[in-house]
Structure 1
Amino acid sequence: MRKEPGEGALRALYSFALYLLSPFTLYHLISRGFRVHEYFRRWDERYATYGAEPGRPCAWLHAVSVGEVNAAAPLVNSLLKQRPDIHWVITTITPTGSDRVRALWGERVEHVYLPYDLPGSTARFLQHFRPSLALIMETELWPNMLFGCRNLGIPVYILNARLSARSLRGYRLLRPLIGRALRTVKCVAAQSVADARRFQRLGAGAEQVQVLGNLKYDVAVPEGLDAFRSAFATALGSARPVWLAASTHEGEEADVVAMHRRLRARWPDLLLLWAPRHPERFARVQALATEAGWKVGARRRDTWPRPDDGVFVIDTLGELMAFYACADVAFVGGSLQPIGGHNLLEPAAVGSAVVTGPHLHNFAEISKRMEEAGALRIGDSADAVATLLETLLGDPAAREVMTDAGGTLVDQGRGALQRTLELIAGDLPAAAVETVPAGGVAAAR
């Protein structure tokens, strides 16, 4: 694939700006490190310094953080099962994403942080790992990395690709460069027609873009879910109403406390399961709930809620879906502030009624479909969300209608996984062939 006119000058300006800003990457790592100590570690990976030993040739998948890792999980699990001979390198940007990769796959895959998009760093990353295939989840568009893959003949797929109208506007200044980088990609596998159109407006060619659906619909229900629910109910000791606040952000925490106080006025034995989005907030939300006057339990310390707990903090990763299944109704955060929302399909897949706030630009298509199907209720403010929660907690029949609709919608939406596997099959590394004596038969490994 040949360079387009103007690419060199645009890349030079972009790279020069990144080098000027590179001291701020250190400031970012240090400032984040005071809140999450993991940011003080593994800086060599952030700048692609790996030592003298080259890595093993691999196929590479990038998922920026926990949400993208979870979305990629069905795909990675299928590929590990179908092609155990392939060495996978999975990159993330956040420590929580790193923890989720380790929790899901352990030593079955190699994990490093994606380096900053500096020309030297991206070149060292590609030379070290020598990927024969690059799979990038959702909306990670780093020009130097994409151009580097093009120059080395590495096919790149952007999978489960989404691009909100807000993100498209955010790329306005970089659109001439991003458009050229996008046109080096073999395929953009978009979640929806609207996402496909926005990628084309950003610069992708119509022939590059396919609409394959959303991998999040192929979410796997956790194994042993019935036993988990049974253990939860046994620990609770009596039939109590339960609601769950999931993936909440710092600015939403006071709203959650206010909601729970309002709801407890009607149901004094109501239990809140609270799962903050970021691990650095675990201790803080425990303190907030304690200051509000409730007895507070936590998953790591107590395992299960105690009969007199008013709040139970889910301070672990990877268990949110199982706890959704224990809740009568769930509020999904990142939606009372202009963050864009979080995964609405996970609670629907395990039978929880779903309520969210108004800021849903990262899940516009999913939220629209769920609302139209009767599987989602959207409040335009924290007070409106509290009213919806109160209504649903008091109406088991309405909750049942919502959970049935949500389960049906998830089942009908499945299929993107198989389409994605078929899309990338031709570019998976060839199976190694064992050398056999003359006259023998070579066997693929």
Structure 2
Amino acid sequence: MPNEAKRKEPGEGALRALYSFALYLLSPFTLYHLITRGFRVREYFRRWDERYASYGTQPGRPCVWLHAVSVGEVNAAAPLVNALLKQRPDIRWVITTITPTGSDRVRALWSEQVEHVYLPYDLPGSTARFLQHFRPHLALIMETELWPNILFGCRDLGIPVYILNARLSARSLRGYRLLRPLIGRALRTVKCVAAQSAADARRFQKLGAHPEQVQVLGNLKYDVAVPDGLDGFRAAFSAALGATRPVWLAASTHEGEEAEVVAIHRRLRARWPDLLLLWAPRHPERFARVQAVAADAGWKVGARKRDTWPQPGQDVFVIDTLGELMAFYACADAAFVGGSLQPIGGHNLLEPAAVGTAVVTGPHLHNFAEISSRMEEAGALRIGHDAGEVADALEALLADPAARRAMADAGSDLVDQGRGALQRTLELVAGDLPAPVETAAPAAAAPA
């Protein structure tokens, strides 16, 4: 780590004071945010004490702390956490998220093997209480979570910080322009930025990281694990369907994309009247709404929680569970990945590729620019510039099994070639893991 990371830079105190003062002024709006979100997702009404780092329990032994903002980042971190849980079962893990869906995913993946709390707001008092309570030996932050007070707090307490699977789009870099003097100083306190790509590495350096702080390790998402029991899942799906039907999947869709999904399905069913749509909205609060939207379109609608499997005669089947999307990808002939027909930035394109499903997406892919470019070049992805072109691509794929197989093979090969970031990341952080907890030797037996 550069020596500058260990001491305060000129101007840091004034910038931190201004930033913290602004956060305190805005703190009433955090309550407003929790309340308004709570009307849509009831979980936002719970565990407010964690949001402000008020804990009713006594501090435990030091931990390794990993922060993953929501479901996508938790899934990206899963191979790393699983590997370290296996290598070092003695480590106490604390994983933070910001969203309730992230919390649910942590629990689904690791149950009681790890502790979960919400990351507190970046107020000086809250971050200090969080760090004092959990006493992390090491901090691992996924992708692009740059909170100045918590980064400075880790520096002040001598906690090494790694930003893993780090990505920074050109759009996000522009968004940091007003805070760049402060963010740059905070970034220079971290031990290493493990960037997904050379382009991400350059942007982190533009934001303020020293060149020697940044390494390009690749994308952990390529190390995605194919779900266990996938063949059995597919067989159960096919048996429940009861007949050979074409199937497409609309994944991680957002509110503004629902009308487009309905229009695409209506168009495709004009050619394949028995076509089934598997529909997985991005946010759980949209599950019921999407079922209503599909029913209002005149279709018979099923749902995973209620029906378990699609039933004969159903036109749309809503995946209203978390953690099963990859398995359902494997049941589809082609998949559309949402967050891409609106300027959201796209979602994980490697999951359908990893299970051998042809992938279609919209044009807004700034969060997955490097992955989408590589997939398109390899022939593993088709990009539609609007909903009409997405429908064109899906129609062409549903009509051409050979093209689907070629895309599936290209996607699987690309995922296999991209693997390796996990091992490089494990090697990177190994030196800062806590020393193994020594088990006391059993006492010698007393002489007879």
What TM bracket, shorter-length normalisation?
A: over 0.9
Q: Give the drift of 1:307.
A: 1.2
Determine the C-alpha separation between the residues in 1 that align with 2:265 and 2:304.
19
User: CA offsets, 1:228-252, max 9 Å, x none?
Assistant: 0000000000110000000000000
Match of 1:181 in 2: 186
Aligned partner of residue 177 in structure 2, secondary structure: coil
Alignment partner of 1:67 is 2:45: no
User: CA offsets, 1:304-336, max 9 Å, x none?
Assistant: 000111000000000000000000000000000
Match of 2:95 in 1: 90
Instruction: Specify the code of the residue in structure 1 equivalent to 2:83.
Output: S
Alignment partner of 1:107 is 2:112: yes
Determine the C-alpha separation between the residues in 2 that align with 1:18 and 1:55.
29
Match of 1:409 among 404, 414, 417: 414
Match of 2:3 in 1: none
User: CA offsets, 1:348-369, max 9 Å, x none?
Assistant: 0001100000000000000000
User: CA offsets, 1:270-326, max 9 Å, x none?
Assistant: 000000000000000000000001100000000000011100000000000000000
Q: Give the drift of 1:52.
A: 5.6
Determine the C-alpha separation between the residues in 2 that align with 1:262 and 1:413.
36
User: CA offsets, 1:25-55, max 9 Å, x none?
Assistant: 0000000000000000000000000036113
User: CA offsets, 1:154-179, max 9 Å, x none?
Assistant: 00000000000000000000000000
User: Structure 1 vs Structure 2: percent identity of aligned residues?
Assistant: 86
Alignment partner of 1:362 is 2:358: no
Alignment partner of 1:161 is 2:166: yes
Q: Give the drift of 1:438.
A: 10
Determine the C-alpha separation between the residues in 2 that align with 1:439 and 1:109.
34
Match of 2:394 among 385, 389, 392: 389
Q: Give the drift of 1:340.
A: 0.1
Matched pairs, number: 440
Alignment partner of 1:137 is 2:142: yes
Within-5 A mapping of 1:28-67: 28-51=33-56, 53-67=58-72
Match of 1:443 in 2: none
Match of 2:175 among 166, 170, 176: 170
Determine the C-alpha separation between the residues in 1 that align with 2:57 and 2:287.
39
Instruction: Specify the code of the residue in structure 2 equivalent to 1:151.
Output: D
- Structure 2 residue runs without a partner (length 5+): 1-5
Within-5 A mapping of 1:40-439: 40-51=45-56, 53-436=58-441
TM-score by length of 2: 0.97
Instruction: Specify the code of the residue in structure 1 equivalent to 2:235.
Output: S
Q: Give the RMSD, CA atoms, in angstroms.
A: 1.1
User: CA offsets, 1:373-427, max 9 Å, x none?
Assistant: 0000000001110111111100111111100000000000000000000000000
Aligned partner of residue 394 in structure 2, secondary structure: helix
Instruction: Specify the code of the residue in structure 1 equivalent to 2:389.
Output: A
Alignment partner of 1:27 is 2:32: yes
Moved beyond 6 Å, runs of 4+ = 437-440
Determine the C-alpha separation between the residues in 1 that align with 2:47 and 2:441.
43
Q: Give the drift of 1:434.
A: 3.2
Q: Give the drift of 1:435.
A: 3.9
Q: Give the drift of 1:57.
A: 1.3
Determine the C-alpha separation between the residues in 2 that align with 1:438 and 1:396.
68
User: CA offsets, 1:83-127, max 9 Å, x none?
Assistant: 000000000000000000000000000000000000000000000
Determine the C-alpha separation between the residues in 1 that align with 2:398 and 2:146.
42
Instruction: Specify the code of the residue in structure 1 equivalent to 2:272.
Output: W
Q: Give the drift of 1:433.
A: 1.9
Determine the C-alpha separation between the residues in 1 that align with 2:123 and 2:334.
45
Aligned partner of residue 371 in structure 1, secondary structure: helix
TM-score by length of 1: 0.98
